[in-house]
Amino acid sequence: MLLAVDGLASYVKAFQRAFRTSYREHGALGRPGLMAWPKIAIVQVVKQRKAKMFTIDRRIVQGCEKMIARLLLSSQNGGQINTAYIERLNATFRQRLAWLARRTRHLAQQSETLMAGMFIVGCMYNFCDYHHSLRLKLSVGRRGYRWVQRTPAMATGLTKHCWSVAELFFFKVPPPRWKPPDRRGRPSKAILELIKLWC
């Protein structure tokens, strides 16, 4: 995964703290060490304007150049390190959630409310909105061509049509596979029957 951030140093620190795992050497005592995830690459784009001069500094914070070049090739067909995609995503969230807008009077009182709102916006973004960059050129014989609009979910093959908001909200997510509860002692006959049915 390639994470691109702008010049704010706290972004880099936040990502490095989030994507790491604790490990303990054999026989070592005390607090376990923290190791960065090896498959996460973090890059930073620092823009500076000084005396009518505009400079862009692209830095590799975590990962190697070969890994980042491969990730850039697979995600945006090459090019250079940029923050365009994350800025577009941030703008989408700020536009659709009043809590994330700048200088807003709306406050999310609880983190669960904010997470639920972001989840809904993300689902609508992927299932209910056509994206101009995902459209396909379809040939129509002598008449030329026409554009076929697609959502991200249609582009990845999750669905074959653009969902309405009502269809999204009324979609029934199947429950996870049933797992018998962990209990001490011999399982009851009812639990054994349920295990036979589900396995």
Do 109 and 152 share a structural domain? yes
Do 73 and 111 share a structural domain? no
Distance CA 153, CA 126 (A): 5
Report if pTM > 0.95: no
* Residue 56: inside a domain: yes
Q: What's at 84, amino acid-wise? A: A
Do 37 and 68 share a structural domain? yes
10-24 per-position pLDDT tens digit? 888 888 888 888 887
- Work out the average pLDDT over 1-6: 86
* Domains held by the chain: number: 2
pLDDT score, position 121: 92
Do 121 and 67 share a structural domain? no
Do 1 and 56 share a structural domain? yes
Do 102 and 74 share a structural domain? no
pLDDT score, position 164: 95
Do 103 and 77 share a structural domain? no
Whole-number Cα distances in Å, 1 to 38, 67, 74, 91, 131: 10, 10, 10, 21, 23
152-197 per-position pLDDT tens digit? 999 999 999 999 999 999 999 888 887 766 777 777 787 778 777 7
pLDDT score, position 199: 62
* Residue 152: inside a domain: yes
- Work out the average pLDDT over 38-67: 87
Which is higher by pLDDT, 34 or 187?
Answer: 34
Do 124 and 67 share a structural domain? no
- Work out the average pLDDT over 107-135: 89
* Residue 194: inside a domain: no
Do 73 and 4 share a structural domain? yes
pLDDT score, position 152: 92
Do 123 and 72 share a structural domain? no
pLDDT score, position 182: 73
Per-residue pLDDT for 58 more than 70?
A: yes
* Residue 184: inside a domain: no
* Residue 61: inside a domain: yes
pLDDT score, position 198: 66
Average of per-residue pLDDT values in the chain:
85
| Structural domain for 157, as ranges | 98-175
**Residue 54 φ then ψ, to 5°:** -115, 120
* Residue 196: inside a domain: no
* Residue 197: inside a domain: no
pLDDT score, position 35: 84
Most confident stretch, 68-77, 92-101, 120-129: 120-129
Location of structure tokens 């299932």: 127
- Work out the average pLDDT over 109-130: 91
